[in-house]
Amino acid sequence: GENVEQHPSTLSVQEGDSAVIKCTYSDSASNYFPWYKQELGKRPQLIIDIRSNVGEKKDQRIAVTLNKTAKHFSLHITETQPEDSAVYFCAAKEAGTASKLTFGTGTRLQVTL
């Protein structure tokens, strides 16, 4: 089955700086890569996703890049704000499975003033 590794496990940045979180996956057949944000005490929510036929996707201050050859994808947050502080999870969906996602272990992002 799929295996997703996520780094770093914790990340501290100053407000206004950029943050990058990286994930690698093992199954070259995986075709969908979402990112979820979980604020303290809240449920995970989708913030951005990318499919395997696209190399980059952007939504305001967040972007995701995908390198299929190297089997890794990254989340980029620019101009970080205190409300970006949360745990971020990457995930990969195996082709042919009923939307079954394999999640990374999470990155705790702390944005300091």
Partner 1 sequence: DVKVTQSSRYLVKRTGEKVFLECVQDMDHENMFWYRQDPGLGLRLIYFSYDVKMKEKGDIPEGYSVSREKKERFSLILESASTNQTSMYLCASSLWQGSGDTQYFGPGTRLTVL
Judged by CB under 8 A, which stretch of 53-61, 65-73, 78-86, 94-102 contacts partner 1?
94-102
Cα 103 to Cα 17, 25, 78, 107, distances in angstroms: 26, 10, 23, 11
- The answer to the question of residue 93 lying near partner 1 (CB under 8 A) is yes
Q: Does 62 bind partner 1 (CB under 8 A)?
A: no
How many residues touch partner 1 under the rule CB under 8 A: the total is 23
Burial of 76 (0-12, 13-18, 19+ CB in 10 A): middle
Using CB under 8 A as the binding rule, the residues of this chain from 7 to 46 that contact partner 1 are 9, 32, 34, 42-46
Q: Among 21, 50, 66, 101, indicate the residue that binds partner 1 (CB under 8 A).
A: 101
Total residues belonging to the chain: 113
C-beta closer to partner 1: residue 81 or 105: 105
Check: CB of residue 21 under 8 Å from CB of residue 11. Answer: yes
